[in-house]
Amino acid sequence: MAAEVKAPPLRADPGAPQALVPGAMAELKPYVANDKMQQALGFPGELTDGWHERAIGRMGELLDKYRSLKVYMDACVHCGACADKCHYFIGTQDPLNMPVARQDLMRSVYRRYFTLPGRLFPKLVGARDLTKEVLDQWYSYYNQCSECRRCSVFCPYGIDTAEVTMAAKEIMDVAGLGQKYTNEILGKVHRIGNNLGLPGPALADTLEGLEEDVKEETGQDVRFPLDEKGAEVLLVTPSADFFAEPHVDSLIGYAKVFHAAGIRWTLSSHASEAGNFGLFIGNYDQLQKVALRIREAALDLGVKRIVVGECGHAWRVAYSYWNTLTGIGAGGEDPFARMLQQQLDSRYRQPTHICELTWDLIERGALTLDKDANDHRVVTFHDSCNVARASRMGDHPGGQFEIPRAIIRAVANKYVEMPRGTTREQTFCCGGGGGLLTDELLDLRVKGALPRMEALSQVASGHGVNFMATICAICKAQFTKVLPYYGFKMGMVGGVHQLVSTAIRLGPKQ
């Protein structure tokens, strides 16, 4: 590791205006994808001749295709409502991490090439040529936005900064400047089926080991089925659930819930990933290609329901985009989409979030729960950005906030909320989302976690909170890494279904 990474001090008054440190993060750049990683996704290998024309050309196409992007370029009045809402600005004090300033990096280029005043009098209207220096600045600062959309909640015009960041990443990819972490992973999904690069036999071996572990723990034959045709449910979950801690404890939780409810389920080695980094790089073709693997697996296995595990942006993609991307749900108009439509059971939400499934079972009294088993924990809940601000659960507005909390209250006695303004639709990003969960950005990740750590610190010292539950693989990995920088234990973060796993009682009803 390069320079020593240190957490910024917690602020005495988070509401007070912050000092600015211009250029504080100007040098921070994630590793660039090499030519093989780029070409595997159909992008130019590097910034070769013609990159400028490709970039401006793609920008024009995006402006034509997405009216929203054009509105976001034109509508901002620089009111400043978003300025202090970004966790990365709060943690770094770099003015270019104010959402408005980050968007203006693109807006100035937009004006130069796509507006009349900018073409004629660029200096008068703050229009800039897209030079290599400007592109480098884009690479630096668009890779310091986790696309969490907290700033958008406060924008009086509803400008979605994440969409601007996604467009910038797409333009850079087409120019030949891709980010290694996201683009290498997308290549692995196409080659192997998941972000980790976990091949089928390794997955099978891992699942077998989990069956042994749960048998030892509970005495019950809880299964972790793989590629079982005719199962009712296909579970797609982040591959981190197979590999990492604390993620795997939630996977065990899902398996116990299916077991207790008598639902026949399966995982798929073809679609062994819920995450979809196509969203992070704003590339529709990648988004669709990754999502189609799940449709292929569902058709192949003949399942009736598709359930999504604890992964924030996967749920956004599933809930908001699967319809038109793949025909799961409604809207897909090709023969395969229709086939899937007929195959899926219309009595259930398609897709279903694992929290919806578990909560339905709890409400029906189908699970035996021993809340006292979680008495060593005082729990709080961190809303993950993509679930909170880009999706829904259940039948009522705000279900994505209420259902995970309802599950926690059903499986644990001690639950505490973090301060208002840091949860629900105003939740702070963990600091590692949007394709930034990579080691060379650790300094940014630690700094970006500041506002969440301040909120956690309040309930930890005030109420003895020792467990922060979340329903996102990125949040879990990010907090495991950054909690120690703030003096917390890494084991303090875990999944909602980890709590379910602790409380659930298997075997014949008492």
Q: Which two tokens stand for residue 188?
A: 């692995």
How are strands ordered across the β-sheet holding 493-495? 379-381, 467-470, 493-495
Rounded to whole angstroms, how far apart are CA atoms 107 and 81?
Answer: 18
Q: Which of 215, 174, 192 is nearest to 55 (CA)?
A: 174
**Which amino acid is present at 129?**
D
Based on CB atoms, which residue is closest to other proteins, 239 or 498?
239
C-beta neighbour count of 94 within 10 angstroms: 23
Pick the stretch among 179-187, 224-232, 285-293, 345-353 that binds other proteins (CB under 8 A).
179-187
Pick the stretch among 197-205, 226-234, 288-296, 346-354 that binds other proteins (CB under 8 A).
197-205
Q: Among 185, 222, 235, 308, indicate the residue that binds other proteins (CB under 8 A).
A: 185
Q: Which of 148, 177, 178, 171 is nearest to 161 (CA)?
A: 148
Based on CB atoms, which residue is closest to other proteins, 181 or 359?
181
Q: How far is the CB of 444 from other proteins (least distance, A)?
A: 16
Residues in 259-278 that interact with other proteins by CB under 8 A: 275
The yes or no reply on residue 213 touching other proteins (CB under 8 A) is yes
Q: Which two tokens stand for residue 377?
A: 């924990």
In the chain, % helix, strand, coil (3-state, to 5) comes to: 55, 5, 40
Rounded to whole angstroms, how far apart are CA atoms 142 and 162?
Answer: 10
Rounded to whole angstroms, how far apart are CA atoms 37 and 13?
Answer: 45
The yes or no reply on residue 61 touching other proteins (CB under 8 A) is no
Query: CA angle, corner 393, sides to 333 and 256, nearest 5?
Result: 105
Q: Give the contact letters, 481-510, x = binds to other proteins (CB under 8 A), - = no.
A: x-----------------------------
The DSSP code sequence of 260-279 is HHT--EEB-STT-----TTT
Q: How far is the CB of 367 from other proteins (least distance, A)?
A: 24
φ, ψ dihedrals at 453, nearest 5°: -65, -35
The yes or no reply on residue 471 touching other proteins (CB under 8 A) is no
The yes or no reply on residue 209 touching other proteins (CB under 8 A) is yes
Q: How far is the CB of 183 from other proteins (least distance, A)?
A: 11
Pick the stretch among 5-13, 108-116, 415-423, 471-479 that binds other proteins (CB under 8 A).
471-479
Q: Among 20, 31, 302, 343, indicate the residue that binds other proteins (CB under 8 A).
A: 31
The yes or no reply on residue 184 touching other proteins (CB under 8 A) is yes
Residues in 231-260 that interact with other proteins by CB under 8 A: 238-240, 242-245, 247-248
Q: Which two tokens stand for residue 455?
A: 């909120």
Q: Which residues bind other proteins (CB under 8 A)?
A: 1, 31, 180-181, 184-185, 188, 194-199, 201-202, 205-206, 209-210, 213, 238-240, 242-245, 247-248, 275, 311, 437, 439-440, 473-474, 476-477, 481
